[in-house]
Chain A
Amino acid sequence: MMKRVIAALLILVLALFIYGNLYSTGEGKLFPKFGNVNLSERVSNKFINKNANGENGVVTYKETKDAESGSANMVTSIVVNYRSFDTLGEVTVLFVSALGVGLLLSGKSRMKFKTPPNFILKAGVRIIAGIILITGVYIFIHGHLTPGGGFPGGSMIASAVLLFYISDDEFRTKVKSFKFLEGTAGSLYLIFGLLGLTMGGYFLYNFLPTGVVGELFSAGIVPIIYIFVGLKVGSELSNLISDFLSEEGK
């Protein structure tokens, strides 16, 4: 009880501190008021107009040719082009955590559920899993044009695998092939980075022509890398699910 009171007091002090300082003006200015952001004084302005290396003017959909990063989705152009090295680190963190889960929960046999899956679940999964898989693939192929990308698409693929797991007591993924897919996709990401190093002088340089903004075959290596990321994340999370549903013995 005493602990809760102290914790509540601590939270109250923290809340008052944040309330007093969040929008403070002048010397220690932290954040602008909600909605009053001036993008022209931020670095994002260069990412939106795609002119981090020099003036490019205004970018127009389906008209601008050979822009610096030809992806219509600006978040994608930051994640996979301007800050691609960051994404490589992110994929590595996900890989390390999947490796940790695999090391700690390396059971041989499949965990059995206490209640067997019923008929509606089994029949429903058969209809819906294919649609989920195709939507996942669509999302990571169109990551540079529409909302989404490699990470959401990969998670959707993993969710289809999870549905297979809960609808079938005997289902087990072929873990070896998923490991192979994951390793290949990760290495291809690195290889494309090194190709950029040899061709353009920078690691993960966008060495392919970027094309017209807004078309499917545009943005150079961005969609290719997002496909690798999608495959890697999908197989990694599927492995994670299969690790969680395994148990020791027999």
Chain B
Amino acid sequence: MIQYLFIGLILIGIYGLLTQKNLIKLVVALNVLEVGVNLFIISTGYVKDGVAPILFKGVPSTNGTFVDPLPQALVLTAIVIGVGVTALALTVVRKIYEKHGTLNLDEMGSESDD
């Protein structure tokens, strides 16, 4: 059931990317999409009543004790790359603002004539 919530986040992100005109809002929509995808990937590894995949006292690594660690490791990679993408996107947005003086995609075209 909770996985539908994460898919909802993905869909909200796609909707934002399709409709928004403000560049900052586009970056935010990209991040919402990313969070949705990450949460969904983690949820595919959830085992019922499983604990975090770290060995501790008195818990042997028998089948069914831990949740799947592999999606978590993949999402760790995805989060770091998401940070890099967001930083680069914000840099480009700042450069665009310095050149055009606006963040709105529609207002940008009329000013770039000169």
Contacts and interface: CB of A to CB of B under 8 A. Distances in A.
Contacts of B68: 37, 39, 42, 44
Interface of A: 3-4, 7-8, 10-11, 14-15, 18-19, 22, 31-32, 34-37, 39-40, 42-45, 47-50, 58-62, 72-75, 78-79, 83, 86-87, 90, 93-94, 96-98, 100-101, 104-105, 145-147, 149, 151, 213-214, 233, 237, 240, 243-244
User: What interface size band does chain B fall in?
Assistant: 35 or more
Given A34-B43, A61-B58, A147-B54, A39 B88 contact: no
A58 B60 contact: yes
A98 B84 contact: yes
User: Main secondary structure on chain B at its contact with chain A?
Assistant: helix
Main secondary structure on A side of the interface with B: helix
Contacts, number: 149
6 contacts: A36-B48, A44-B70, A61-B57, A73-B54, A74-B66, A147-B54
Contacts of A43: 70
B85 A97 contact: yes
Nearest to A63: B60
Interface of B: 1-4, 7-8, 11, 14-15, 18-19, 43-48, 52-64, 66-70, 72-73, 76-77, 79-81, 83-85, 87-88, 90-92, 94-95
B91 A100 contact: yes
A35 B61 contact: no
B48 to A, nearest CB: 4
